Amino acid sequence: MNRQNATKEIIAYSFKYLAREKDIDKISITDIMDQTDFRRQTFYDHFDDKYDLITWIFSYETSKLIQSLTVWEKWQEGLLYLLNYLEENSNYYKKVFSNMKFDSFKEYFAYYIRQIVKKVVNDYFRIHVISNKNQAIIETTADFYAYGLSEMLYRWVLGGCELNSEIYHKIIIQVIGYRTQP
């Protein structure tokens, strides 16, 4: 791990720790940095603002997902990883999602899910020999699954992950399976 990421991880840990006790919009940069024993300026050396930090936390902590989920054959594993991650961090993400000031994160979340789904859909159509001439079908399929999945995950987290990740994973796989049988 490089030094820059180590500093970012410390800042992120401090923020997530504080988020357990306080509303996210009530956490100041000073609060975060007081927990780290770094100067306040160190925060701004790495992040523009709290929104940037929240986005970085999600991206950094789920980067393994992107690496493992680029092929059709592994999408179920990647989905389970994402569900487990969101469930383990559900209190934090519930606060992030329920704060209207962080709507830009919801947009980022949908974008992130779309990037993953697009890779999987492209691989699916490559395997099932759908030519690139049908790019509109490929794009529409990716959008359909990405935006549907991101909204479902958003609502699942806001609902307190009522169904555990294992059960929710099985349900999503079953639903997707109805539409992807060749």
The pTM of the full predicted model, rounded to 2 decimals, is 0.86
* 17-66: pLDDT as tens digits: 999 999 998 999 999 999 998 999 999 999 999 999 999 999 999 887 66
**Quick one: pLDDT at residue 35?**
93
CATH says 62-180 is which class?
Answer: mainly alpha
E strand or H helix at 159: none
Whether 18 and 27 have beta carbons less than 8 Å apart is answered as yes
| Domain spans in the chain, listed from the N-terminal domain onward | 1-48, 62-180
CA distance 26 to 4: 26
Helix, strand, or coil here: 76? helix
**Quick one: pLDDT at residue 61?**
92
Span 167-171, average pLDDT? 96
pLDDT category at 68 given cuts 50, 70, 90 is low
Span 157-162, average pLDDT? 95
* 77-136: pLDDT as tens digits: 888 999 999 999 999 999 999 887 767 899 999 999 988 888 888 888 877 766 666 778
**Quick one: pLDDT at residue 69?**
66
In degrees rounded to 5, what are phi and psi of residue 134?
A: -95, 40
